[in-house]
Amino acid sequence: MDFGHYAPLWGEALLTVLAVLVVLLGSLMKNSGRLMGYLSLAGLAVAFGLVASNLTLAKPVIFFFDTISVDGLSQFFKAVFLIVSLLVVIASLSKYTGKGAEDYYALLLFATVGMMVVASSIDLVTLFVGFELASLSTYALAAFDKSKKNLEAAMKYFIFGSVSSAFMLFGFSLLYGMAGSTRLADIAAASLANFGPATLVALLFVIAGFAFKMALVPFHMWAPDTYEGAPALVSALLAAGSKKMGFAAAFRVMLIALIALRMEWYLAFAILAAITMTLGNLAACWQNNVRRILAYSSIAQAGYIAIGFVVVGAAYGAAPVTTFNGVAVPAAQLGIAGALLLVLGHALMKTGAFIGTALVASTVSGKGQDNDPDDISNYAGLARRAPITAFCMLIFMFALAGIPPTAGYIGKFVLFSSAIYSGLVWLAVLAILNSALSLVYYLRIISYMYLKEPAGPKISEPKGYVAALVLALIAVVWIGVFPQGFIDWALQAAAVLLPQ
Amino acid sequence: MYADYAYLIVALPVLAFVLCIFAGWHLPKGGGFLTVLATFAGFILSYGILTEIYPDKIVHQSMPWFANFNVGILIDPLALVMLLMVTFVCTLIHTYALGYMDGDPGGARYFAEAGLFTAAMLGLVYADNLLQLFIFWELVGVCSYLLIGFWYRKPSAAAAAKKAFLTTRVGDVLFLAAIILLYNNLASLNIALKPGEYLLQFPVIYAHIAQIPPAQLTLIALGLLGGAVGKSGQFPLHVWLPDAMEGPTTVSAMIHAATMVTAGVYLVARMFPLFYAAPHGLTAVAAVGAFTALFAATMGLTAFDIKRVLAFSTVSQLGFMMAGLGAGAAVGTVAVGVSIFHLIGHSFFKALLFLCAGSVIHAVNTNDMREMGGVGKYMKWTMYTMLIGSLSLAGFPFFTGFFSKDEIIVIAYEYGTLINFLPYIFLVLAAVLTAIYSFRMWFSVFTGTARSDYSKHESPWVMLGPLVVLAVFAFGFGLAAQGSFYEYLDTNFEHYSIDFEELAVIGGHAVEGEHGAEGAAEAESGAKEGPGEPWYIQILPIIIALGGILTAGLFYWDKIKKFDPDQVTGDKDPIRWMLLKGYYQHEILTAWFAETVVYGSSLICNMIDIKIVDGWLNWLSAWVLGFAGHVRKVQTGVIQNYVAALVLGIVILVIVITLAKEVGLA
């Protein structure tokens, strides 16, 4: 067997083997939690290195009977997933070190592999398998600390997730029935329009399944409860990582398999995007629980990212509208690239923000059941209690609101300008108004951290958390200050989805 | 080889900023020596670049930033002399600050902010595109805000910082509008850019000025002028500069005399071809400059606070520089050399004067000249260095200020012969007043007898050293550099493809006199002498300087005192009071306009606002938040409801999309 041929998939293979190994070694050795943490970290770092060394491919590499494709797009999403997992593991090293920690790391690795498989899938069955691998692992992770809140969060997540999976699978089966194949390319080649209303039902069931992961309104209801109730580091993985898996899947299925139904999903995503960002931001204004604020903020962000679909739907195949750095770029490509940049930016900002909440919550957890560790009052005077955390949170909040020079700004800039170029001015205006509205709750957190009297004594900031926070901070600012390389990268990844 | 490290000129002070802000309080003197070293390294690098590219090369480096923008470094003669001046003067002022800020608990913060300011100013100077220049321009503004309000617990300092920030913001908005306008105009030209070229890069702008409609050019020029007026404290946005003296004296010297306030002049010089091509662009510059020069000089005559005298003097001298640039309408690019020469010379002697004032204040502990007197007995070094600065400011023959100001007055005369004599007259009067107020200040501080009980000691050498160095330059720079400086700066725009004759036609300079095109051609040839002014015009500045100093002496020098200023004008003299009160600007602008007119009308607006606008907005926000409250209630926490919403969502989507298809929306 020619192993070199499979070089682009070594990352996934390594993580799978490592996950099994972590479970095995962990049950054999005593007190190996910390060691397993470092092992996972090393494995993820190597996998990231493998992906990073092969970021842009001139041509897609296809494996396993046309079910797995390694191309610019898959590499982009894999890089995002690996970055999120890396940051979460780094932070976890300060929390999950004791008994049973090996399960945590193994589940995290499996979830990562699942997400990576989804990023590469060009076949509905493979995609579903990856989806479920990631989902099942995260269901277990959401309950990992076994508190009452955890269990409730995991239960809601699981039930909602199962129903969504059922819908998605039903949509897939309809597509299979119509096209006679589960390969995305074959579905694209079949003339789906002949099947009348069934196509619309299939399309919307598939969208509902993806929208559950992406947390688009009204498929978002699990998200606030789960993000609030799950262990904070798992929330980081869910909001920043597995949510993006929904986008990875949706981009491929919509743009490759279902491009013939472009006008239908264009409309569906236009409605979903508009409702999602508006409701997400509105609901966030009223929350007092910081993790719920972040949950609604990430729902709103998903609404922004979904604009990418609308832009592609509106401008698919249209002539280039603008030059970026001397290269002519069509609006559709710009739209996908903007969505990808926001995916990347949001992954970094949200991971960081949730790690920040984990740090704060860990200092007040001794206060009993009724006292909510994530309540915003715990953030009062954080700037003096935990200066590094507060500063990082400050930048993440600004980045989430889209203030330059941060990753959040660059993503929104590219995405919203693509919306304007493709004639969706109403959507761009709505998105910008929403960004302004979002400042209400981001600034509220900042004002608590910087303007209020400290709510307690100085906190010693655990090294793992701080390392993850600072890394995320550097990345967020770096992308904001030197965006061109990332924009080019996203444009290249976007080109995979468009006819050459 | 030095040019390869040009980025370090900005990077090192930034590094000093980072180190000082995070580790400053662990270091001796707040880490101030880091800022000094970083700035001095910048000077060495700038000097190295000078040796490499002098006399006929430029440095241009650029890398893509994002979208259609780049970051880049452009060092042409104009940028280079500014780099040298800023690094040199800032090095001296930072050194002086080591002594001056010694013992201040905020020392680390001071040197951090000073380092950041230096970096921002240098970045502004060698930016190769307008957007980058604007970003550093704003950063400079932020640093200025921080440093004016350095003693932020003092209410007047906090208020002054706010005033400076808000006033300059008016100009900055115009500047930004001009950039957007310029970008749109350039973008609509569909220029075929070569790789590595970007729309807002100066060479690209220069090359395409002629294709922009003249009316647009004028709008852009006025916007840019607005920015320059705000930053350089020109009328009517000059009000913040005297108040800015609330900061430490070193800040006043560095930011509000020698470097930052010259950014506006630099901007006009940098965009000179655009101003030249814009009909009435330079006329506006000349008018603003000349008026400010005289207006501020009259106020300098009556102020009692030594730093305010110097602040008004700065405003006035910046007016000279602006007027000099404006005179470019008549003499072409020669004006840039003349004006920038005065800018550089001014930065030497004004920094010197401020540092001397700081030295006096440091010892005497008051800013009020009425409480000084006879200080010269105890502070010999300060006295003589300040004498040199004052002579230079007054334009005493063979001092730096003599050459530079004289030349501006001469080109203003040429502007007069071709276009309008008003700026010339204003500048001559301002020059007379300059000589008077600078020696009124010097005599009343250093001569006579002590008018209050102040502590009598000379400042430490770390402060006197920079004074002596600056004094040498305040005296000798003009004499030494005069000829080669003009020649070098005259080559500045030869590095770009600019057809000044064509621009002169667009700007209407050829129509207004036969000298127009000739002036442009003359700029090309680099001839600096005007076409022969009468001898009395040439000699007039000397008479002005000597006469002004003598007049000041008759009033304020105890040895030859003939008049008592109080008796000549009387205590109630309305003109004196008008000047003392700064033309009642405070009364008019703040007390009357802001507090009566604006407040009164704001009460009416308030009524409308509360009843109608706010009512509507409150209703809207209450509705939004109320709606948000309902949105929140949807989240019941019951999983059955969630799944129901999911199903409902799909059903609604099916219906909506089917309907939309029926009516042909999709």
Search chain B and give the residue with CA nearest A485: B66
Helical H runs in B101-195? 107-125, 130-148, 155-188
What's the average model confidence in pLDDT over A125-151?
Answer: 91
- Same domain, residue pair B549 and B660: no
- In this complex, do A167 and B635 lie within 8 Å of one another by their Cβ atoms? no
User: How far is it, in rounded angstroms, from Cα A374 to Cα A367?
Assistant: 12
- Same domain, residue pair B342 and B387: yes
What's the average model confidence in pLDDT over B426-430?
Answer: 88
What's the average model confidence in pLDDT over A279-299?
Answer: 89
What residues in B contact A160, CB-CB < 8 Å? 639, 642-643, 646
Residue type (1 letter), A228: E
- In this complex, do B195 and A326 lie within 8 Å of one another by their Cβ atoms? yes
What residues in A contact B625, CB-CB < 8 Å? 282, 285-286
pLDDT at B530 over 50: no
What residues in B contact A205, CB-CB < 8 Å? 650
Cβ-Cβ contacts under 8 Å for A200 (sequence gap 6 or more):
A261, A264, B654, B657, B658
- Same domain, residue pair B556 and B506: yes
| Structure tokens given for B119 | 């970096």
Task: Number of A to B CB contacts under 8 A, please give it.
Answer: 103
Task: Assess A196–B contact: CB distance below 8 Å, yes or no.
Answer: no
pLDDT confidence bin for B527, thresholds 50/70/90: very low
Q: ipTM for the complex? A: 0.79
User: How far is it, in rounded angstroms, from Cα B546 to Cα B74?
Assistant: 42
Longest Cα–Cα distance of chain A, Å, equals: 68
- Per-residue pLDDT tens digits for A34-76: 888 899 999 999 999 999 888 877 788 888 888 899 999 999 9
Q: Are A298 and A455 in contact (CB under 8 A)?
A: no
Q: What is the pLDDT of residue B198?
A: 85
Q: What is the pLDDT of residue A369?
A: 43
- In this complex, do A323 and B68 lie within 8 Å of one another by their Cβ atoms? yes
Q: What is the pLDDT of residue B593?
A: 61
**Region of residue A64 (phi > 0: left; psi between -120 and 50: alpha; otherwise: beta):** left
Share of chain A above pLDDT 90, in %: 49
How far lies B132's CA from each of A362, A474, B66, B73, B127, in Å? 43, 22, 12, 10, 6
Search chain B and give the residue with CA nearest A209: B646
User: How far is it, in rounded angstroms, from Cα B444 to Cα B555?
Assistant: 10
- Same domain, residue pair B561 and B549: yes
- In this complex, do A324 and B68 lie within 8 Å of one another by their Cβ atoms? yes
- Same domain, residue pair B88 and B129: yes
Domain boundary among B237, B272, B307: B272
Substitution target in A157, A213, A325 with the highest count of B β-carbons within 10 Å is A325
Q: What is the pLDDT of residue B571?
A: 59
Domain boundary among B216, B242, B272: B272
pLDDT at B592 over 90: no
pLDDT at A88 over 90: yes
- Per-residue pLDDT tens digits for B615-630: 776 777 777 777 767 7
Domain limits for position B618: 582-635
Residue A72 to chain B, least CA–CA distance (Å): 20
Inside any domain, residue B190: no
Residue type (1 letter), B619: W
What residues in A contact B641, CB-CB < 8 Å? 221
Q: Are A411 and A341 in contact (CB under 8 A)?
A: yes
- Per-residue pLDDT tens digits for A305-330: 999 999 998 888 888 877 776 678 89
Cβ-Cβ contacts under 8 Å for B431 (sequence gap 6 or more):
B395, B405, B409, B541, B544, B545, B548
- Same domain, residue pair B559 and B462: yes
**Nearest CA to B353 among B323, B294, B312?**
B312
User: How far is it, in rounded angstroms, from Cα B237 to Cα B223?
Assistant: 14
Domain boundary among B534, B558, B580: B580
Q: What is the pLDDT of residue B569?
A: 58
Residues 140-169 of A with CB under 8 A from B: 155-156, 159-160, 163-164, 167
Inside any domain, residue B346: yes
User: How far is it, in rounded angstroms, from Cα B519 to Cα B529?
Assistant: 11
Per CB distance under 8 Å, which residues of B are interface residues toward A? 64-68, 193, 195, 624-625, 627-629, 631-632, 634-635, 637, 639, 641-643, 645-646, 648-650, 653-654, 656-658, 660-661, 665-666
- In this complex, do A410 and B643 lie within 8 Å of one another by their Cβ atoms? no
Task: Give the range among A66-80, B381-395, B521-535 with minimum mean pLDDT.
Answer: B521-535
For A160, the closest of B625, B627, B639 (CB atoms) is B639
What residues in A contact B631, CB-CB < 8 Å? 279, 282-283, 286
What's the average model confidence in pLDDT over A5-13?
Answer: 84
User: For residue A405, is the peptide bond before it cis, meaning its omega torsion is within 30 degrees of 0?
Assistant: yes
pLDDT confidence bin for B526, thresholds 50/70/90: very low
| Structure tokens given for A128 | 């579903």
Task: Assess A483–B contact: CB distance below 8 Å, yes or no.
Answer: yes
What's the average model confidence in pLDDT over A420-431?
Answer: 91
- Same domain, residue pair B536 and B655: no
- Structural domains of chain B, count: 4
For B65, the closest of A219, A437, A484 (CB atoms) is A484
pLDDT confidence bin for A426, thresholds 50/70/90: very high
Search chain A and give the residue with CA nearest B646: A219
Inside any domain, residue B210: no
This model's pTM is above 0.80: no
pLDDT confidence bin for B575, thresholds 50/70/90: low
SS3 A328: strand
What's the average model confidence in pLDDT over A360-382?
Answer: 73
pLDDT at B330 over 70: yes
What residues in A contact B634, CB-CB < 8 Å? 221
For A218, the closest of B67, B625, B646 (CB atoms) is B646
What residues in B contact A287, CB-CB < 8 Å? 632
Task: Assess A193–B contact: CB distance below 8 Å, yes or no.
Answer: no
- Same domain, residue pair B487 and B586: no
Phi first, then psi, for residue B25 (nearest 5°) are -75, -5
For B639, the closest of A159, A219, A272 (CB atoms) is A159
**Concatenated DSSP letters of B198-247:** -TTBHHHHHHHGGGS-HHHHHHHHHHHHHHHHHHTT-TTSTTHHHHGGGS
Inside any domain, residue B180: no
Helices and strands in chain A, H and E counts: 20, 4
Q: What is the pLDDT of residue B597?
A: 67
- Same domain, residue pair B7 and B118: yes
Rounded to 5°, the CA angle A259-A265-A271 comes to 155
What residues in A contact B67, CB-CB < 8 Å? 324-325, 413, 484, 487
Substitution target in A199, A221, A258 with the highest count of B β-carbons within 10 Å is A221
pLDDT at B560 over 50: yes
| Structure tokens given for B316 | 């006035």
Inside any domain, residue B217: no
What residues in A contact B648, CB-CB < 8 Å? 218
- In this complex, do A221 and B665 lie within 8 Å of one another by their Cβ atoms? no
Mean pLDDT for chain B overall:
81
What residues in B contact A323, CB-CB < 8 Å? 68
- Per-residue pLDDT tens digits for A154-190: 998 999 899 889 999 999 999 999 988 999 989 988 8
Task: Assess A225–B contact: CB distance below 8 Å, yes or no.
Answer: yes
- In this complex, do B628 and A282 lie within 8 Å of one another by their Cβ atoms? yes
- In this complex, do A197 and B658 lie within 8 Å of one another by their Cβ atoms? yes
What's the average model confidence in pLDDT over B519-548?
Answer: 62
SS3 A392: helix
Pairing verdict, β A327-330 and A320-324: antiparallel
Residue B227 to chain A, least CA–CA distance (Å): 22
pLDDT confidence bin for B588, thresholds 50/70/90: low
User: How far is it, in rounded angstroms, from Cα A128 to Cα B389?
Assistant: 81
pLDDT at A1 over 60: no
Inside any domain, residue B199: no
Phi first, then psi, for residue B110 (nearest 5°) are -60, -50
Search chain A and give the residue with CA nearest B632: A283
Q: What is the pLDDT of residue B150?
A: 86
- In this complex, do A222 and B65 lie within 8 Å of one another by their Cβ atoms? no
What residues in A contact B644, CB-CB < 8 Å? none
For A221, the closest of B628, B642, B661 (CB atoms) is B642
Q: Which one-letter DSSP state was computed for residue B110?
A: H
pLDDT at B583 over 70: no
For A282, the closest of B66, B631, B653 (CB atoms) is B631
Inside any domain, residue B653: yes
In our burial notation (b when 16+ CB lie closer than 10 A, e otherwise), range B347-361 reads bbbbbbbbbbbbbbb
Mean pLDDT for chain A overall:
89
Residues 378-417 of A with CB under 8 A from B: 410, 413
Substitution target in B18, B66, B183, B635 with the highest count of A β-carbons within 10 Å is B66
User: How far is it, in rounded angstroms, from Cα B297 to Cα B433?
Assistant: 6
Cα A305 → chain centroid: 10
Task: Assess A328–B contact: CB distance below 8 Å, yes or no.
Answer: no
pLDDT at B515 over 60: no
Inside any domain, residue B355: yes
- Same domain, residue pair B558 and B533: yes
- Same domain, residue pair B492 and B626: no
Between B366 and B531, whose confidence is greater? B366
User: How far is it, in rounded angstroms, from Cα B129 to Cα B120?
Assistant: 15
SS3 A129: helix
Q: What is the pLDDT of residue B521?
A: 46
- In this complex, do A283 and B628 lie within 8 Å of one another by their Cβ atoms? yes
Q: What is the pLDDT of residue B609?
A: 65
Share of chain B above pLDDT 90, in %: 12
- Same domain, residue pair B341 and B379: yes
